[in-house]
Copies of this chain bind each other. A is one copy, B any other.
Amino acid sequence: MAVLFQQITIIGVGLIGGSLARAARAKGLCAEFVGCGRDKAHLQQAIDLGVIDRFETDISRAVEKADLVVVGAPVGAMGAIFNQIKRCVREDAIITDVGSSKQSVVEDAVRAFGELPEGFVPGHPIAGTEKSGVAASFAELFENRCTILTPTASSSSWAIDKLSKLWKGVGAEVVCMDAAHHDEVLAATSHIPHVLAFALVDTLGRMQESKEIFKYAAGGFRDFTRIASSDPEMWRDICLHNSDAIVHVLQLFRKELDTLEEAIKEKDSDGIKTILQRAKHLRDTNVLV
């Protein structure tokens, strides 16, 4: 594929930023990858792993020549980073992020930039694992996955097109949608499952027999709770920054759980089976295995 960018600067070279660099490098989509962050040892590791070519701990120096800036930090750090890059980023640079909440990122950008740059196009690749850090990154992470872009009213079409080409180039399908809609959809498919998994593991940990309980956990439990191994800081940020949508979907979930719990309490065989059958059918027909 043709080179799209001369220099991609990734602020926060973790699982997602690192995987994007690996994939874009493998596909020849960019000439140079520059990492930026606070932890030198971590950035050196990213060089050693061949993920980035060099790093800067000074954010101005990191972004001043970049034609693409990817902010891969937890969503709670976006505002501070936008504030730091606003004076030193090139006027024709594309600025994007990979955060799991999108309205909060746009709000943070408005607060930092005032008028939003036309190269600013928020994004979110729907991919990841429960692991974090550059050591967990891999070039195939985005293959056959979706990347959602949530352009603002100021985003210009050239920036959207070029960023789309990058994501398509690393194997993702690209979809554009409204930031609020993104936040509701992701609350349902990603944020609520994480909240439930964290809450369940913590519940069992507080039970008297907790040591034993975990001992008898089978494969289903391992799968169900895998996401409770995710980075607590990243997920605290997501909970804080997509609070409204998460609380809204949680309320829908609670109503459903009330119905199912009532049916279990009342030993209402048909009531239980109806819900279980419907759920199995939905999952089997809608979710890729």
Contacts and interface: CB of A to CB of B under 8 A. Distances in A.
A287 B221 contact: yes
A225 interface: yes
A188 B204 contact: yes
A276 B250 CA distance: 17
A206 B188 CA distance: 11
A200 interface: yes
A276 B198 contact: yes
Interface string A263-289: 111010100110111111011101111
A125 to B, nearest CB: 9
Interface string A169-194: 00000000000010011101110111
Which bracket fits the contact residues of A? 35 or more
A19 B218 CA distance: 16
Contacts of A220: 128-130, 190, 193-194, 226-227, 230
B200 A193 contact: yes
Contacts of A195: 257, 260-261, 264
Contact of A261 (B207, B250, B279): B250
A45 to B, nearest CB: 21
Nearest to A189: B217
B275 A145 contact: no
Contact of A279 (B148, B181, B186, B198): B198
A282 B190 CA distance: 21
Contacts of A240: 264, 267, 269, 272
Contact of A232 (B190, B200, B236, B273): B273
A142 to B, nearest CB: 11
Contacts of A214: 189, 282, 286-287
A199 B181 CA distance: 22
A196 interface: yes
A195 B220 CA distance: 12
A69 to B, nearest CB: 24
Interface of A: 126-130, 145-146, 148, 181, 184-186, 188-190, 192-207, 209-233, 235-236, 239-240, 243, 246-247, 249-250, 252-257, 260-261, 263-265, 267, 269, 272-273, 275-280, 282-284, 286-289
Closest 5 CB pairs of A and B: A214-B286, A232-B276, A205-B282, A201-B279, A198-B279
24 contacts: A127-B219, A184-B209, A188-B209, A189-B214, A193-B221, A193-B225, A195-B261, A196-B196, A197-B224, A198-B280, A199-B275, A202-B275, A203-B252, A214-B286, A217-B287, A220-B230, A223-B224, A224-B224, A228-B279, A228-B283, A229-B280, A233-B273, A240-B272, A247-B265
